[in-house]
Amino acid sequence: MSFEIEKGEGFKLIGSRLSQESLIKSIAVFKTYALLTGNARKFLPGRYELSPSMSVPEIIATLTRGGRSDVFVTIPEGSTVKDIDLTLSEAGVIEKGSVASFSFEHLRGDYAFLGTVSSLEGFLFPDSYYFDRDSDAETIVRRMLDTFSEKAWTLLSSDRSWYEKLILASFLEREVPEFGDRQIVAGILEKRIGIDMPLQVDATITYIKCEGRIKDCEDPVARKSDFQIPSPYNTYERLGYTPTPISNPGAAAIRAAVSPVETPYLYYLSASETKETHFSRTLEEHNANRFKYL
């Protein structure tokens, strides 16, 4: 299991935490051995992989050799660029704002999919990473773009309208939890595009209201009074897709976006309590579902 020593921690506190996590059986034995061997002041900050099966001498030897200084960070699917920036800054990986404000023009030649896009939104692939503390923004962005290239670009690259698929996947990631339902919703939204009907995706309104930062947004709920907010991201007021993705989708959402399912449905909603997706063919049916599930 992972065990981390913070800078400045004394061996008594370290022993106490080792005991609390059941990595040692006796604090007294740990302290005595550390003092007798001269290692009490030699414990080094870092992250270590320890096991309850290790003896006290083995644990002390490990903790005095120096552990990993990097940080394990999980970026949830559906995070925005600003959310990712906040998560990384809270973990001590970057200076706050450095990823959100990163200029990526010079990276276009290294990543074909950046082409002429105007934003990194959608390309910072959500995954679990080990990052060094106090990293520069370019190191972080390149690492996440490399992961996008490996796990997402392979799903998108053969589609001529791949950027629209990525935008669609970002909608699905924010609005629909189940893969099969995502495929149906992808078909619904593409049908709306085909008949010049506004997409009416509530998640785009939330993206506007929260100014692209969903993680710490105080009021993320899209209400009817918000549907007239002037913005190119307002899918109630404007036809077509948003200028960029509204989140960084995972592989499952991307797979759903590139494999839409055609159905008779034209409307969908997520139940407020269960988050289950309900579909309807007509506006009358949709309004009945709204009354029933919202």
Cα separation, 16 vs 120, whole angstroms: 44
Per the rule left: phi > 0, alpha: psi between -120 and 50, beta: everything else, 33 is alpha
**CA-based diameter of the chain, in Å?**
80
For the chain, first and last CA: distance in Å?
Answer: 43
pLDDT band at 100 (very low <50, low <70, confident <90, very high): very high
Strands 267-270 and 277-280: antiparallel
pLDDT at residue 182 in the model: 98
pLDDT tens by residue, 205-225 = 999 999 999 999 999 999 999
Cα separation, 275 vs 291, whole angstroms: 15
pLDDT at residue 50 in the model: 93
Residue 27 in this model has a pLDDT that exceeds 80: yes
Domains of the chain (ranges; CATH) run 2-63 (3.30.1490.480), 70-155 (3.30.1490.480), 160-293 (no CATH)
Nearest to 71 by CA among 11, 123, 2: 2
Query: What's the mean pLDDT in 270-279?
Result: 92
